Amino acid sequence: MRKLSGNIEQNALQTEWSGWIRDVVHAFGLVDVMRPDTWRVLAPLAESVAAVRWLVGQIRRCNTMPPELPHEEAKFYLLAAFCPDNRVLGFLIDTYRHYYRTCNRLGVLSCVRIIAAVSGEGYSHLNFLYNLMMGNVLREYRHSGPASGKNPDSSFLTDKDFRTLGRLLPDFHPFEFRDRLQALRQQVTGNTTSEELARACCMSGSAFRKRFKQEFDIPVSEWLREHRKERIKRMLLDTDLPLCQVAESNGFNMSSTFSDYCRRNFGSSPAQMRKKSEPVKES
């Protein structure tokens, strides 16, 4: 931020904004981006709409792309958030969209932290950006699932990120771990792996397995085995799906392997299980 501030101060020397920029840089020294109670010092400076317009123009020229480490320039973004001007709002939107498109977790979290807090103080000009952020967060939260483990578009945000976003965004309520698993239960197939479940919960495989064991007191591998057995039994006894389709949807490529599995776990072949479940015809 020092380099950008220096460049802008230098550019401001020949303009009417040099004194204003000095006040901005001084105010930045009083601001802690992680503490919203320190932000209000920037609000009076943001009332100079023409000055803020000039500033965001300078930022765009100095940085054609937002920085990879967004916390270094978050104070500029914060100052702009207090300014109720459409041109300045465009800068806020473009910066956030860049971070979202490039899957920059720190950038997204930094922008959300600022916009959620400032808009909550009654700055209604930020409503569009807040709603855009909410839509993106909900998309990321709901997008991935265990059946889409091979989907390259799975969320770049982590479980920890979503819990942070839940604290920042009043309208976002992420599931607790147990509730999330319950919501995913209907999507679990006989082919689902613990790694796919972990991705669906936006967690690493090791963190997910540890959390699962803590919550349910059984390994996730055992839970998946039991779920697979229940699913196979339900599909055999409660549906008319062809046996080959039941086998394939539960990860069996050969009917003989599926038959052996059913004999080991249920004491009968798939055909025998289905026949036993059929109602006895009256003579």
Torsion (CA) 127, 70, 39, 25 in degrees, nearest 10: -130
Place 179 in a pLDDT band, splitting at 50, 70 and 90: confident
Q: Are residues 122 and 186 in the same domain?
A: no
The predicted-structure confidence for 19-72, as pLDDT tens digits, reads as follows: 999 999 999 999 999 999 999 999 999 999 999 999 999 998 887 777 776 676
204: in domain: yes
pLDDT for the residue numbered 46 = 97
What does the radius of gyration of the chain's CA atoms come to, in whole angstroms? 28
Same domain, 32 and 120: yes
Res 146: pLDDT: 47
Instruction: Judge whether residue 77 has pLDDT over 90.
Output: yes
Residue after which a domain boundary falls, among 123, 142, 161: 142
The more confidently predicted of residues 145 and 230 is 230
What confidence score (pLDDT) does residue 112 get?
97
Do 114 and 246 lie in one domain? The reply is no
Strand ranges inside the chain, DSSP E: none
Cβ neighbors of 255 (< 8 A, separation 6 or more) are 243, 244, 247
* Predicted local distance difference test score (pLDDT) of residue 275: 85
54 and 98 share one domain = yes
Looking at the structure, do residues 89 and 194 belong to the same domain, yes or no?
Answer: no
User: What's this model's pTM, rounded to 2 decimal places?
Assistant: 0.69
283 pLDDT more than 70: no
pLDDT in tens, 94-117: 999 999 999 999 999 999 999 999
203-229 pLDDT, tens per residue? Answer: 888 989 998 999 889 999 999 999 999
pLDDT at 161: 92
Q: Does a structural domain hold residue 282?
A: no
In angstroms, rounded to a whole number, what is the distance separating the alpha carbons of residues 233 and 276?
A: 12
Q: Which whole number is the average pLDDT over 146-169?
A: 75
Q: What total number of domains does the chain contain?
A: 3
Helix (H, G, I), strand (E, B), or coil: what is residue 1? coil
Give yes or no for residue 86 having a pLDDT over 80.
Answer: yes
> Is there a single domain that holds both residue 249 and residue 192?
no
For residue 111, CA distances in Å to 7, 51, 105, 117, 194 come to 23, 21, 10, 10, 33
* pLDDT tens profile 129-148: 999 999 999 988 876 544 44
Q: Which two tokens stand for residue 162?
A: 């979503």
Range of the domain at 91: 1-142
Cα dihedral 28, 30, 34, 35, rounded to 10, equals -140
